[in-house]
Copies of this chain bind each other. A is one copy, B any other.
């Protein structure tokens, strides 16, 4: 019944590993923030460095790469991060941003998805179409944190361009997550082995799309009603931290249900966040409890970086020695940039700097990484859907698109004048 000394051994390893990873993440984040880049890039880079120390003969950290505990913390970090993103995505407000943002977002999903699928099918014909889907999917989601920052630094945060980009990025997240729901559902079918990957017909695909839409629809509609009831009751709770606890439990349950339904847990976490609009927990805030976002921040700031460091650790630097992999990374990055330039066409208003919109949508970030990470950890017939080299190339793409945006955006905004 008692594990005794093993548990203290497990705990000691866990706290040392967590201390190392969190400290490294913040150091990497700090370095990149000072360079005017987002912290997540530094977390990735430090992860790449830690994960490839073996090349320098330092093998002490090798066990960390496969550590179940660390991977679990990383996954829970991603779940809470997407919950936070969902909390910040107000669907009603998004619709008010107007059709331009939605059209920009839709074009910015379709074009990179199609280009990514095509490039993957062209350069890696043996990889199977599920792999192509994941490459395309990773190219869809925009992370406009860096864009918002650059626009702010340029004093352009309140321009029409800025509002369209930010609105489109939120829509992008929603569409990207729905895409992820469908793709992960397809993988589940393939894993179940009922149908060979090549034999998944339109019937199966339609059923999965229907299931994903159904889950999200039910989660959002029933969740909103259910949440209202739960929170009306929970509002009467007096114990400390009740609001945060109820919200996190709600997030975990919806994420777990998504996982049971064959979707990615983060899809559920995102849906849970969208459902929990501020309205739901007004009684708590009125009572003086802090807002959920505020309470979540210390938790996500501590464990979400673990996810990105672990992602970085999975990048095998040696794979970049191959011209083929580097070439693939270069082409994917190019396609990622070109794919988003179509976005400018979606702007309905006149007098808008269309080039700035296309450039502003370039950076891929958290959601793209989560897409790639999922692809590399799902197994179909014993093989990960995304090979280790493809995964490394995609992480490189995420980093390159982020690095390239600030200078390009400054150029694009200058053109306007």
Q: Residues of A at under 8 Å CB distance from B?
A: 1-5, 7-8, 10-12, 14-16, 18-19, 22-23, 25-26, 29-30, 33-34, 39, 42, 65-66, 68-69, 71-72, 75-76, 79, 191, 237-242, 244-246, 248-249, 252-253, 255-256, 259-260, 265, 295-299, 301-302, 314, 376-379, 384, 388
Contacts and interface: CB of A to CB of B under 8 A. Distances in A.
A374 to B, nearest CB: 9
A245 B302 contact: yes
Contact of A30 (B242, B249, B388): B242
Contact of A69 (B12, B72, B256): B72
How many copies are assembled?
2
B249 A19 contact: yes
A4 B265 contact: no
Contacts of A19: 248-249, 252-253, 256
Given A12-B259, A246-B26, A377-B3, A297 B241 contact: yes
Given A8-B259, A25-B245, A33-B239, 10 more contacts: A1-B314, A2-B377, A4-B384, A7-B72, A12-B259, A12-B265, A23-B245, A26-B245, A30-B239, A245-B302
30 contacts: A3-B71, A4-B377, A4-B378, A4-B379, A7-B75, A11-B75, A11-B76, A11-B79, A12-B259, A12-B265, A15-B76, A15-B253, A15-B256, A15-B265, A16-B253, A18-B252, A19-B248, A19-B253, A22-B245, A22-B249, A23-B246, A26-B239, A30-B239, A33-B239, A39-B239, A241-B298, A244-B301, A245-B301, A245-B302, A296-B298
